[in-house]
Amino acid sequence: MKISPAEKTFLAKIADKSAVIGVVGLGYVGLPLILSFAEAGFRVLGLDVDQNKVDKLKAGESYIAHFKSARIKAVVDKGLMDATTDFSRAAEPEALIICVPTPLTTYREPDLSFVTGTLDNLLPHLRPGQLLSLESTTYPGTTDEVLRPPIENKGLTLGRDFFLVYSPEREDPANPSFGTRNIPKVLGGSTPACGRAGQALYQTIIDRVVPVSSTRAAELTKLLENIYRAVNIGLVNELKMVADSMDLDIFEVIRAAATKPFGFTPFYPGPGIGGHCIPIDPFYLTWKARAYGLHTRFIELAGEINQSMPQWVVDKLSRALNEEGRPIKGAKVLILGLAYKKNVDDVRESPSVEVMELLSRQGAVISYHDPHVPAFPHMRRVQFNLKSVKLTEKTLAEADAVVLLTDHAAFDHAFIARHARLIIDTRGAFAQAANVVKA
C-alpha cells in the first residue's frame, strides 16, 4: 500500500493532535462535533454565516439548550476553540467538516444550495493536504458528483494530495444514552486513501468508525436509516386511524405487541413527523430513484400518510368541539409542545407548527406552552407573533381545548388533566377520561 506524502503528513498531524479541525455550520450537528474535537485536545475552528452563533461561541456561550455554556467555555478558555464568519480562514484547518442543511424545494426536490454555496465559499481557500468531509444528509452520488469535480478542477488530485469523504451525522438531540462518542460513525471515501484519512480523523472522537466501500454507499446508508423510521411511523399512523374507528387505543395495542421478544420493534404514532431528517430524507431517495426509472411507491405512500397527520388531529379537535356545541372558529386552543420532539428546543419541520397553521386558517385563537421554546422562532414559511404562556390553572381552564403535540418530560399530566376542559392527546400520555380525546 503506497501512501502519498500528503497522506503521511495528514495522518501524523491527526495522531499528534497538531491538526486544526474546521467545522462548517455550527448548528445541531456542527456544535457537538466542534466540542468533541476540542475536548479531545485538537484546536478547532468553527465557520458559519451566522454572526450571532460565532459571537456566542467565542464568548463561551451556548445557543442550543441541551449544550451547557460551561462546556463551551471550558474549551474556549483553554484556547482550543475559535469561530469566524471569514471563510478565507478555511485554509487553516487540516480537516473541514461540512454540516449544513439539505432541505427540500417547494416541489419536494433536493435543495443542495447550502452545500454548493458552502463549497463556493471554501474553494478559493482549499490547499493541498486537507480533508473535506460532508455530513449533510443527501442522495447517493452527491459527494462524488457535486463536490469532487470543482475540487479536482483546482488541480488537486483526490487520494494523493486532497481527501474527500462522506460521513453522515447521526445526532439525536437530548438523547441521554447516545452522544457523539458512542454512536458508531459510517464513513465512505472517494478513494481508499480518502477512507483511511477520514477514519483516522473520526476515530479520535468516536468509539467505532464503520467504513463502507464508497461515498455513495454511505449516502444511501443514511437515507435507509431514516426511511426505515419514516415508513414504520407511517404504518402506525395508519393503524392509529384504523384503531380509532374501532374505538381501540393504538398505544395499548403497541405496548402489548412490544412484549414479543423477537420479530417486532415498536414505533409510535403522533401528530406528524418533524426534525430535519425524517420528513425530508425519504424524498431525496425518491427523487434520485426517478433518474433510474424507478418509482418508490412504498416510501411515498408512507410520506403521504405522515403528512396527513396534522390535518387528522385538527379534524379530531373540530369534531370534539362540535360535540360540545362550539365551532372551531373563535375557539381558544392551547398547544402543548412546539418542538418537533420531546425535551429539545428544535422546531424544524415540527408538526406542531402545521397544526397551529391549520387552526389559524379556521379562525381558532391559538396560544402555546413549551418550556424549551420561550418565543415562536423566525421561520421561512410561517410566523406567529407568540410567546410561550405559563401553564397555570387559569390558562388551562380558559382554553376550550388543550392539544398535546410534544410530550415534554416537564409536563405534569395529572395537573393538566385536572384543569383542562378538553384534551386532544396525540401521544398516548393521558389515561382514558371524559375530557380526553385520543388523536
Residues labelled catalytic: 277
Q: Is the dihedral of CA 373, 377, 383, 385 positive or negative?
A: positive
Residues forming a β-bridge with 43 = 20
H or E stretch including 22?
strand 20-24
Buried b (16+ CB within 10 A) or exposed e, 356-393: bebbeeeebebbbbbbbbeebeeeeeeebeeebeebee
To which residue does cell 414505533 refer?
267
Three cell numbers written together for 120:
463556493
To which residue does cell 410561517 refer?
382
Max Cα–Cα distance, the chain, nearest Å: 79
String of DSSP letters for 119-163: HHHHGGG--TT-EEEE-S---TTHIIIIIHHHHHTTTPPBTTTBE
Backbone angles phi, psi at 209, to 5 degrees: -100, 130
How many other CB atoms are there within 10 angstroms of residue 225's CB atom?
17
Q: Quick check: helix, strand or coil at residue 257?
A: helix
Tell me how far apart the alpha carbons of residues 402 and 211 are, in angstroms, rounded to a whole number. 48
Any idea what DSSP says for residue 391? -
Say if CB 87 and CB 122 are below 8 A apart. Answer: yes
Tell me how far apart the alpha carbons of residues 99 and 53 are, in angstroms, rounded to a whole number. 14
Tell me how far apart the alpha carbons of residues 404 and 408 are, in angstroms, rounded to a whole number. 10
